[in-house]
Amino acid sequence: MHPAASLVFFTSLSGAGFGLLALLGLLTPAGTLPTARWFVAATIVIALTLAFAGLVSSTFHLLRPRRAIHAFSQWRSSWLSREAVAAVATMLAATAYLGASVFLERWLARDAVVGVLVTFGALVTVYSTGMIYAVLKPIREWHHPWVAPIYLLFALATGAVWLVAMATVFGATDPVPRLVAIAALVAAWSSKIRYWMLIDRAVALGSAGTATGLGGAPVTVRSLMWPHTEANYLLKEMGFRIARKHTKKLRRIGIAFGGAIPALLVEVAPLASSTMSIVASLLAVVFVMIGVLVERWLFFAEARHTVTLYY
């Protein structure tokens, strides 16, 4: 499938934002993060900014962005609609959490209800995003049981790296956020590598013969001419193909930039001076976002819709 920049940025930025919200709502009541009102407030603002920027970028992929409001009406049957509803509900809960952190600082230490709601809503939102693609049966690479869990793992991994950076800026020394970040990075990229191995070995859904109804193996069917003389929507959206050698190279870049380097920076940051520790944690954020953008670009570029068999 053609990897539209709007969808690449949408899934990467919103995933990081909601992952950050999920971990903040979970770890703050547990006492492993600074409880200062401005730490919680600043972290929520950054998370909401990432989530909102991602959601806005997704509208650029719509033919008529003004109709995006209709995405909320089909929540009974559409994962896209469920994602929209969950995203708005989560952002409202996060805004309430922001207000409580600023005006009711002592409340944060003893009541985790809103934090749990934010965590639950963020995870539901990211899961719904993954399911938008996982339910599409004509695309073998997307209709896979690992797709939605991988979306969740990458959201938590990127959110955890952002959380470590925020905690470091505010002088936190608790090792739990760093351990969570490293564990999430390992889990996310290990799952992604396994997913790549599975789709590389998977059997094709069909052939030109089965697509046209003219025969399957051992009969060989090939097209003598194109079905039409002009480009169309299907070719624009679904006809993208990436060379295997470029795929392998980009996979290695994604693993290095999005996994190995951020994990190393998160691990060594506490060993440096306070200034260098902050620099290392911020660099980890930069690298992990680059890596996830590459991973997400590949997610779309490697997807092959069965309709391309006609061409």
What residue spans define the domains of the chain?
Answer: 5-227+234-310
Q: What CATH architecture does domain 5-227+234-310 belong to? A: Up-down Bundle (1.20)
pLDDT at 110: 47
Checking if the pLDDT of 269 tops 60, the result is yes
Q: What is the pTM of this model?
A: 0.88
Checking if the pLDDT of 106 tops 60, the result is no
Q: Across all residues in the chain, what is the average pLDDT?
A: 84
Long-range (24+ apart) CB contacts under 8 A made by 86-93 are 86/121, 86/124, 86/125, 86/128, 87/14, 87/18, 87/51, 87/55, 87/125, 89/121, 90/18, 90/21, 90/51, 90/118, 90/121, 90/122, 90/124, 90/125, 91/48, 91/51, 91/52, 93/117, 93/118, 93/121
pLDDT at 77: 79
